[in-house]
Amino acid sequence: MTPERPTEWFDDDRFWRELSGFIFSDARFAGAQREVEQLLALAKPAGRDVLDLCCGPGRCSIPLALQGYKVTGVDRTGFLLDQARDRARQAGVAIEWVQQDMRDFVRPGSYDLALNLFTSFGYFNDQQEDVAVLRNICRSLKPGGTCLIDVAGKEFLARIFQPTTSHVLEDGSLLVERHEIIDGWSRIRNEWILIRDTDVHRFRFHHTIYSGQELKDRMAEAGFHEIRLYGNLSGDEYGLAAERLVAAGRKPI
Ligand SMILES: C[S@@+](CC[C@H](N)C(=O)[O-])C[C@H]1O[C@@H](n2cnc3c(N)ncnc32)[C@H](O)[C@@H]1O
């Protein structure tokens, strides 16, 4: 049974629908094949069962399936899973799609590799819910299986932070992003203003920002060991030049 929870920003399908063209741009999709090659080289899964938690429109699930991996893609957003299904059909691959909240999905001892990619972690107001997600991932892995998380790290954000940024999207819309660091550097609050011709849409969302050490500690609390941090999916060190915070941890045998 699904527990009753307060509605949060990520429960708003309009957010994903209106912004999907930006979040999942053609360029972002084009980079997925390379990301998958890199993450496989980094994680070296012992078998072919992969969980893509918060898979969105299947950006990485599909290239993984094309390489012969047996993928379960889990996401709460039905609209994005519909896109994933269409794309998988076009690519000619079979993937299991599950519409479920990441706090609820658990399938004990089933996967060699569990992925949570492209800043899909840290969304909950209560950080213990992030740990609960990590515990579910750990339970869902086979003994010795690997969990790989890819987010924007706190150290990176501190280095590049600008209160306002803007982008012209592929369809010519203007996206203005406003960012605020809140709660003593534990969370970031964003306001994205999408301007399309004379239409203006505003989206507000916020999430926890983890430092390398904080993410490592949460993963250890959830039962992982041999936790390593990297500055990107190619496995470069988590140092001053890090562009991402990639954490890989193993479920004990
Ligand atoms: C930034 S996107 C990343 C998608 C994908 N991992 C990728 O690399 O392209 C975040 C995804 O998390 C999903 N999501 C957000 N909150 C969720 C939740 N509570 N449970 C499951 N999925 C969630 C969204 O629907 C969206 O597809």
Each residue's pLDDT tens digit, 64-78: 999 999 999 999 999
Backbone angles phi, psi at 199, to 5 degrees: -85, 135
Residue 73: predicted pLDDT: 99
Chain segment 229-250, per-residue pLDDT in tens: 999 999 999 999 999 999 999 9
- Nearest partner of 223 among 105, 140, 124, judged by Cα: 140
Which pLDDT value is given to residue 37? 98
Give, for ligand 1, the residue of 9, 16, 54 to mutate: max count of ligand atoms closer than 8 Å to Cβ.
54
Q: Whose CA is nearest to atom 18 of ligand 1?
A: 101
Spans in the chain with pLDDT lower than 50:
none
Q: What is the pLDDT of residue 2?
A: 75
Give pLDDT, residue 249. Answer: 98
Q: Rounded to whole angstroms, how far apart are CA atoms 209 and 190?
A: 12
User: Ligand 1 center to residue 16 CA distance, Å?
Assistant: 9
- For a mutational test of ligand 1's pocket, the pick from 7, 8, 9, 10, i.e. the residue with the most ligand atoms closer than 8 A to its C-beta, is 10
- Residue 53 CA to ligand 1 centre (angstroms): 8
Binding pocket residue ranges, ligand 1, CB within 6 Å: 10, 16, 23, 54-56, 59-60, 75-77, 80, 101-102, 117-120, 123
* Interatomic CA distance for residues 21 and 91, integer angstroms: 20
Structure tokens at 103: 């706090």
Distance 159 CA to ligand 1 centre (A): 25
Give the pLDDT confidence score for residue 3 in this predicted structure. Answer: 79
pTM: 0.97
Rounded alpha-carbon distances, angstroms, from residue 196 to 9, 45, 59, 149, 175: 22, 43, 25, 33, 9
Spacing of C-alpha 169 from chain mean position:
21
- The pLDDT of residue 1 is 67
